Amino acid sequence: MVIVDGQPVKSCTAFAADLDGAEVTTIEGMANPDGSLGTIQKAFQDHHGLQCGFCTPGMVMSTAALLAENPRPSEEEIRHYLEGNICRCTGYQNIVRAVMAASGQDVGALAAE
Ligand code: FES
């Protein structure tokens, strides 16, 4: 998952030549300028929303796109937005917690997994 001109795009289906002139943000663009974890990355770390090397960047990038569009999404909105990132290894609960934390919301109402 990458963000192209503000929209999340599955990088495996994007033809590089079609992106000529577009603004493309990859997972590397989520870190702070000093290389430390950005807000979303830190929330995923803090709430154990981490999955494999394919799933985690996809979830982080989707979260960035979601929060740019909706800075305080509900649990239902988060689950709906992330449903395109299919991971068969998790129940998503900690990922939802991480997204809520990244948006500055209380995660206490969500049950831990
Ligand atoms: S953690 Fe990546 S497929 Fe489940």
Of 33 and 85, the one with more pLDDT:
33
Distance (Å) from CA 90 to ligand 1 centroid? 7
Sorted by where each starts, the structural domains of the chain and their CATH numbers stand as: 2-102 (1.10.150.120)
Given the CA of residue 89, which atom of ligand 1 is nearest to it?
4
7-56 per-position pLDDT tens digit: 999 999 999 999 999 999 999 999 999 999 999 999 999 999 988 888 99
Total Cβ atoms within 10 A of residue 45: 13
The predicted pLDDT at position 111 comes to 62
**DSSP assignment, residue 92?**
S
Q: How far apart are CA 70 and CA 23, in angstroms?
A: 20
At 112, the pLDDT band (50, 70, 90 cuts) reads: low
pLDDT for the residue 2: 94
Task: Find out whether 71 and 103 touch, Cβ atoms under 8 Å.
Answer: yes
- Whether 87 lines ligand 1, by a CB cut-off of 6 Å, is yes
Q: Long-range contacts for 105-108 (Cβ within 8 Å, ≥24 apart)? A: 105/72, 107/47
Structure tokens at 10: 């599955």
